[in-house]
Amino acid sequence: MTSPTEELKDFIEAQAPVALVEVAEAKGSTPRESGASMLVSHERIHGTIGGGQLEFMAIHRARELLRDGALRAGLDIPLGPEIGQCCGGRVALAIRLVDDALKADLIAQARREDRARPHVYVFGGGHVGTALAAAFSLLPVHVQVVETRADALEGMPAAVDKKLTPVPEEVVREAPPASAFVVLTHDHALDFLIVGEALKRGDAAYVGMIGSKTKKATCRSWYLKTAGGTEAEFARLITPIGGEAVRDKRPAVIAALAAAEIMTALAARTLAPR
């Protein structure tokens, strides 16, 4: 699995010289916030400051800086009809040549961001699990697919961590606080064991299980009578994952809806007062 930090480091080293484009100030309605950044080389880019004409102008100015051998440049851009972008705000950009010191700072910052990323555990590498892994591989999370079957882990995206274990519920116990757990194995009894472990953790940001109303009722009975759980704990279980507003059960659709639901839960946990 290649981390975002490694991708950034590889880009800087392979594409040198490289310029850093950073949103120094954002006023009003803008595509990205202050601090958003991207890297620009003569031929490629890494990251984004929001796309559109704003980004095209930034890339052009950064490549001028690279051609001229300058160290710094800036742009102050009103986002109005004159540039074909009607956000209505104003963005000030700082553009700098990436030297060794700045490279070290960027890599250190990327490592901090990597460590701060929330963890998502997908239990089950079937059709929906594979689709979820693909969806999460594009998102700013650490995602791990947990399976008891080696063949079910084949073909997972490179950005996804894979865990083969005969006791997947142990992964729940070892997960960091505020993790998300989504359960969709090939075995309902195993689903219940994993859900039981996750619900007993009061610090989980999300606990979801694929299934029907009947499966949820069966799980509830097992959790209360056999696992020693409480109604308050069980009420935290989300099933079906992704909600019921869209009645499309194709794996890619379920994965898209569930990923949005899980990212919302993670964001709410991050913003919640401590």
Largest pairwise CA distance in the chain: 73
Q: What is the pLDDT of residues 4-16, one digit of tens each?
A: 899 999 999 999 9
Query: Quick one: average pLDDT of 249-262?
Result: 96
Name the more confident of 246 and 153: 153
Scanning 211-250, the segments in alpha helix (DSSP H) are 213-225, 231-234
Tell me, yes or no, whether 42 and 62 share the same domain. yes
Tell me, yes or no, whether 93 and 169 share the same domain. no
Tell me, yes or no, whether 136 and 84 share the same domain. no
> Which of 60, 86, 114 corresponds to the end of one domain?
114
Number of domains in the chain: 2
Tell me, yes or no, whether 104 and 140 share the same domain. no
Phi, psi angle pair for 211, to nearest 5°: 155, 175
Tell me, yes or no, whether 130 and 86 share the same domain. no
Tell me, yes or no, whether 185 and 246 share the same domain. yes
pLDDT > 90? residue 181 = yes
The mean pLDDT value of the chain amounts to 93
- Is the Cβ–Cβ distance between 22 and 93 less than 8 Å? yes
Tell me, yes or no, whether 106 and 129 share the same domain. no
Name the more confident of 74 and 145: 145
Helix H or strand E segment including 12 = helix 4-15
pLDDT recorded at residue 89: 85
Q: How confident is the model at residue 117 (pLDDT cuts 50, 70, 90)?
A: very high
Q: Domain with 230 in it: what CATH number? A: 3.40.50.720
pLDDT > 50? residue 273 = no
Query: Quick one: average pLDDT of 208-212?
Result: 94
> Which of 95, 114, 133 corresponds to the end of one domain?
114
Tell me, yes or no, whether 97 and 121 share the same domain. no
pLDDT > 90? residue 270 = no
First to last CA, the chain: 32
Tell me, yes or no, whether 105 and 152 share the same domain. no
Query: Quick one: average pLDDT of 91-108?
Result: 96
**Angle at which helices 4-15 and 100-116 cross, to 10°:** 160
pLDDT > 90? residue 101 = yes
Tell me, yes or no, whether 131 and 243 share the same domain. yes
Q: What is the pLDDT of residues 157-166, one digit of tens each?
A: 988 999 999 9
pLDDT > 50? residue 169 = yes
**Angle at which helices 251-271 and 127-136 cross, to 10°:** 50
Q: Express as a percent the part of the chain with pLDDT over 90.
A: 82
User: pTM of this prediction?
Assistant: 0.86
> Which of 79, 114, 149 corresponds to the end of one domain?
114
Could you tell me the residue range of the domain that residue 180 belongs to?
A: 117-271
Tell me, yes or no, whether 21 and 77 share the same domain. yes
Tell me, yes or no, whether 19 and 71 share the same domain. yes
